[in-house]
Structure 1
């Protein structure tokens, strides 16, 4: 049995928040696979599929990161937990901006 290292359980709350974010992205991407093709055409399926892949990959990375952090906080091996380096939020922000740009190009290319 592991002991509580933080009475407020901040790492658990952060891990759950990242999981909710990834699941929200996954749900939005799956919904866009159904809704966008009649409006924007078949290219929107590619964008939606990229969103599904990204959110699934991020969900896997978030889970691995949480388990690694939890292990380092609950074991007494003398190692300090590795701090976050900001790559995960940067990847999420970059892909969101790219998806927005592609969506804008798709909408503008359709025209009136």
Structure 2
């Protein structure tokens, strides 16, 4: 006997897909990522200006400000991506041919580029602070 909500092995699913659990989980994961980027950026706002020489301390604010802006962009893009994915899945489940495409990996590429740039800036700030001593 199968439990409620379980599909017996070998049977075909004729009803609609589960309307939003996977896109919602993906959105929540991107929200956690955006929150982690924001927290790291706030910490960098506090630490980087202290590490740099006094005449270059303002440059220590740039990575934090860019990171907070990127975190906001990731948060909004995650919501837009979830809505687009859900709409695509609903249209693909409708009778007739579906021409809708799922979102690609642009957010992942943007996050990778941001993390690489943030790491390079962090290493540069550490190197400058060590050379200034």
Could you say which TM-score interval applies, normalised by the shorter chain?
A: 0.7 to 0.9
Q: How many residues align?
A: 110
- CA distance in 1 between counterparts of 2:20 and 2:72 reads 28
**Matching residue of 1:67:** 83
2:44 — aligned with what? Answer: 32
Which ranges in structure 1 are unaligned for 5 or more consecutive residues? none
Q: Secondary structure at the match of 2:65?
A: helix
Does the Cα contact within 8 Å between 2:42 and 2:64 map onto a contact in 1? yes
Which residue does 2:72 correspond to in 1?
A: 56
Q: Which 4+ stretches in 1 moved above 6 angstroms?
A: none
Inter-partner Cα distance in structure 1 for 2:119 and 2:76: 23
Normalising by the residue count of structure 2, what TM-score does the alignment of the two structures yield? 0.70
Residue 87 of structure 1 is matched in structure 2 by 106
Whose helix proportion is higher, 1 or 2? 1
The alignment's TM-score, normalised by the length of structure 1, stands at 0.81
Gaps of 5+ in 2: 1-14
CA RMSD of aligned residues (A): 2.4
